[in-house]
Chain A
Amino acid sequence: MALLDIRNLTVKIKTSEGILTIVDKVSLTINPGKILALAGASGSGKSLVMQAIMMLRRDNVIYSADRFKLDDKDLLKLSSHQRRKIIGENISFIMQEPKRSLDPSLKIKTQIYEVMPKIKWYRFFTRIKNLIKNTKRQTAIALLHRSGIKDHSRILNSYPSQLSDVECQKVMIAMAVASEPKILLLDEPIVNLEIASRFQVLKLLDKYSKNDETSIIIISNDIASIYNFADEFAFMYAGQIVERGTREQIFKNPRHPYTASLIRSMMEMNNPDNAKKFIPVLTGKHPDYKHMPIGCRFGARCRYAKRRCNNMPEITMGKNSQYRCHFPLPDGALYSDD
């Protein structure tokens, strides 16, 4: 049973030039304890998918979906108030740039206390209040410890600007897991971190997903760094998911030419013999959302394009993957030279 099941999620944005469809019929499912990576070029709509899952309300954005089930509850049938409550209890979101998401004018202490589950009756008993304050601090410290922060007293008493990027990220993770969410959404959590910090953050997230069965959806451009971290990969191009499948399947036998080009670039960069050498890259540019091609959106850059590609390809179910292409690559095409 899938924990989160989304069908045909569409996100439209109102601009001065009319309504643009940015995310087009994205379907996602995620099982408990699994990690799904959402990859693709910047501007392919990855972040919008996440914001849509959180149903962040903004005036110029319209969300729609055919199905949105969380833990077997159909959220589309609920009122927006109930929906927000369920999403808030079950999903946590860590946005890009942890330093900017923390409130710069409050101590970390205050911010952590704020997100911890509340007890209301304490106001009446001052003594119990003190007691609770103490346990509150203890809970906060325990949370920080679990997120790999050892010198908790310094962290609790500092402002976000006094901390380094990785410390902020760990605080964000501690705050996100305070409510024991079932799903954790992360938008580029390791970008701009230093080498060792990246590893620490990934290890921490891995621990949460293994121990607490938290499902994770992670957005990352850097697929090489999260290769062994994610169980499943979904590649987005121009607002559509072009390929989705397990790591083994996708990296061994990608079906969609765009996925293949990404994986090939990654491997060429990884090859030490290529130092100071030019490497073959995909040419052309990402289509503009104002003038989307009618057929396959990758068509202009695809070297396998044929006449049939003027019709939009539908999602095809493969054995371990799903792809959106009329002419999927055969097994082993990644390593052949043509």
Chain B
Amino acid sequence: MISSTETLISVSGLCYRNPSSWFTRMFRSDFILKNITFSLNDGESLAIIGEERSGKSELISAIAGLITPTKGIILYNGQTYESNHQMRAQNFRMIFQDQETALNRKLRVIDILQIPLLINTDMAENERVERIYSTLNLVDLPDSIATRYPSELSYGQMKRVSFARALILNPKVILANKSISSFDPNLRAHICNMILRLQKERKISTIITTSDLEIARKISDKILVLCKGEVVEFGDTRKILNSSQNEITQRLLRNYNNEYRFKRDS
């Protein structure tokens, strides 16, 4: 395993199979992820795309450390998950899909944002508050939101609060599973702008799974196409979206640019 300091994440030979009893395993050995290998350099952002049941969510959860891979290694900055748990927990933060259930309704925003700090750092009270307000600033939320409850927030604000929670530990990477979708066009542009700003100013990388290729094009440098748990293509966003030769990718693009979709020149 060679890994320079430049590599942010390297995944090699990752396999994952649903944990099931030995009996089922004897007859069916359906791997959800099969031998996935790729690496991402520092400062690069990735979008994982693919059809239903292609293993996108499993891959991103494996990177986030939510599921344990059956085989294979994931190196974060050259270190494994076990060897440096603290580093991983601080630098790789996940944003969850469903806004309404992701935030605890019984806590105020300030408390929601405080929890990661209490668990992972030993900051003093005033430092924590300062950090919380600066993070709220970062995601374009007014300070007055800190004392509100999630139920009083709009959909876009809830989304931003979950971004703030992910950002509060100054992570290097933000992982988002399908959470950047179902926005109206204005909010979609807003969130994309915000992510771009984080990428440029804070040097934060994003790893997202999405079914919205326009967002993928907007905010990521690399694209990983998955099909039935295998890597179909991995490479430059522009190259894959504009001139992919692969049949599966082409089918995906065709389905995306279907007859109902808005096209610029029509």
Contacts and interface: CB of A to CB of B under 8 A. Distances in A.
Contacts of B186: 41, 261-262, 265, 281-282
A267 B264 contact: yes
Contacts of B28: none
B29 interface: no
Interface in A265-291: 265-272, 274-279, 281-282, 285-286
B211 A198 contact: yes
Interface in A163-196: 164-166, 188, 191-196
Contacts of B263: 270
A221 interface: yes
A276 B219 contact: yes
Interface of B: 49-53, 154-156, 178, 181-190, 192-193, 196-197, 211, 213-215, 217-219, 221, 237-238, 241-242, 251-252, 255-256, 258-264
Contacts of B221: 276
Contact of B258 (A202, A269, A286): A202
Given A195-B51, A195-B252, A265 B185 contact: yes
Given A43-B154, A227-B260, A265 B214 contact: no
A194 B211 contact: yes
A268 B192 CA distance: 12
B29 to A, nearest CB: 20
B265 to A, nearest CB: 10
Contacts of A63: none
Contacts of A191: 181-182
Nearest to A196: B255
A226 B182 CA distance: 13
Given A166-B52, A262-B184, A274-B218, A42 B154 contact: yes
A331 interface: no
A196 B192 contact: no
15 contacts: A41-B184, A42-B156, A166-B52, A192-B182, A194-B211, A196-B251, A198-B258, A222-B182, A225-B261, A251-B262, A268-B189, A269-B215, A269-B218, A272-B241, A276-B196
A113 interface: no
A122 interface: no
B251 to A, nearest CB: 8
A228 B260 contact: yes
Interface of A: 39-43, 164-166, 188, 191-199, 202, 206, 221-229, 251, 261-263, 265-272, 274-279, 281-282, 285-286
Interface of B, secondary structure class, is helix
Contacts of B188: 265, 269
A223 B262 contact: yes
A276 B218 CA distance: 5
A169 to B, nearest CB: 12
A194 B51 contact: yes
A289 B252 CA distance: 41
Dominant SS among interface residues on chain A: loop
B182 A270 contact: no
A275 B223 CA distance: 13
Nearest to B251: A196
Contact of A202 (B53, B154, B260): B260
A279 B51 contact: no
Nearest to A279: B189
A229 B189 contact: no
A42 to B, nearest CB: 4
Contacts of B218: 269, 274-276
A228 B261 contact: yes
A28 B196 CA distance: 39
Contact of B185 (A224, A228, A276): A224
Given A194-B52, A194-B211, A221 B264 contact: no
Contacts of B262: 223-225, 227-228, 251, 266-267, 270
Given A42-B183, A194-B50, A286-B154, 10 more contacts: A194-B52, A195-B255, A197-B52, A198-B258, A221-B185, A225-B262, A269-B185, A272-B217, A275-B238, A276-B221
Given A43-B155, A188-B182, A229-B260, A281 B190 contact: yes
Contacts of B213: 195
A276 to B, nearest CB: 7
Nearest to B262: A227
Contacts of B190: 281
Contact of B52 (A196, A251, A271): A196
B189 A281 contact: yes
A247 to B, nearest CB: 10
A251 B185 CA distance: 14
A157 to B, nearest CB: 19
Most buried by A among B178, B218, B264: B218
B52 A224 contact: no
B186 to A, nearest CB: 5
Q: Which residue of A193, A268, A275 has the most chain B CB atoms within 10 A of its CB atom?
A: A275
